[in-house]
Amino acid sequence: MNDKEQMRLENIAETSYEIFALLKQRYSPRIFKENLLNPTHINQLFEAVRWAPSSNNLQPWRFIYGEKGSNAYQSIYDCLSDFNQSWAGNAPLLILAIYKTNLENGDENFHAPYDLGLSLGNMAVQSQYLGIGLHHMAGLDWKKAEKEFNIPTGYHIASALAAGYYGGDTDQLPEDLKDQETSERKRMPLSEFAFKNEWSS
């Protein structure tokens, strides 16, 4: 087992209750192997999205992606926050996650962001199955990105994602991010967010 494989094993979550192994293994890397993603694997990610649940089966999600070296990749990268730019250039694939804001009758689709989240959950599990790390990023200039990619009225860019096969060299990261790749993963306890029968503070 090499050091990169060992690091990935060390990032398996210590859960309070046993859960599906792929969920325990999933984390958000900031380093990746340099290899471009297999085109079939990219299609599998979006096929997983395709079969996500959505309100009234409207499937309001849309995606734009670019491989490293392409103009689209550079345009997405240029729209990221300075912090995300400090590491996201390690990823071989960058993705913009978008949702359709309105129903066909013009009313707001209140559930569209929720549905996009469900689709990205599907993508996260499928990516883990394929040995692909996903890192979701809220830090981007979505207005700039919507202009750069001529996003039509009625659609909103919600987030960006960096994707690539697990691996890579931590020396590619700024010093302040190296430790985060292997630091203990923490979550709030169930008692702070899952309440039986009534709200509990």
- Domains in the chain, start-ordered, CATH in brackets? 28-168 (3.40.109.10)
Q: What is residue 38's predicted lDDT score, i.e. its pLDDT?
A: 98
Strand order in the sheet with 93-100: 61-67, 93-100, 155-165, 132-137
Residue pair 163/90 in contact (Cβ under 8 Å)? The answer is no
Chain segment 61-71, per-residue pLDDT in tens: 999 999 999 99
Residue of 137, 107, 148, 174 lying closest to 28 (CA atoms): 137
**Residue 145: burial class (beta carbons within 10 Å; 0-12, 13-18, 19+):** buried
Q: What is residue 57's predicted lDDT score, i.e. its pLDDT?
A: 98
From CA 4, how far away is CA 31, in angstroms rounded? Answer: 10
- The alpha carbons of the chain give a radius of gyration, in whole angstroms, of 18
CA contacts within 13 A on the Cβ side of 8? 20
Determine the average pLDDT of the residues in 32-49: 97
Q: What is residue 8's predicted lDDT score, i.e. its pLDDT?
A: 57
pTM above 0.85, yes or no: yes
From CA 30, how far away is CA 32, in angstroms rounded? Answer: 7
- Residue 3: pLDDT above 80? no
Give, for 63, the enclosing helix (H) or strand (E): strand 61-67
Write down the mean pLDDT value for the chain.
93
Residue pair 97/135 in contact (Cβ under 8 Å)? The answer is no
Residue pair 28/135 in contact (Cβ under 8 Å)? The answer is yes
DSSP H helices, 35-111, are 39-50, 71-78, 82-88
**Residue 165: burial class (beta carbons within 10 Å; 0-12, 13-18, 19+):** buried
Residue 189 is classified by DSSP as -
- Residue 54: pLDDT above 70? yes
From CA 119, how far away is CA 187, in angstroms rounded? Answer: 22
Chain segment 104-127, per-residue pLDDT in tens: 999 999 999 999 999 999 999 999
Q: Which residue has the higher pLDDT, 133 or 7?
A: 133
Q: What is residue 1's predicted lDDT score, i.e. its pLDDT?
A: 45
How far from chain centre, in Å, is Cα 101?
A: 20
4-13, 48-57, 192-201 — most confident range:
48-57
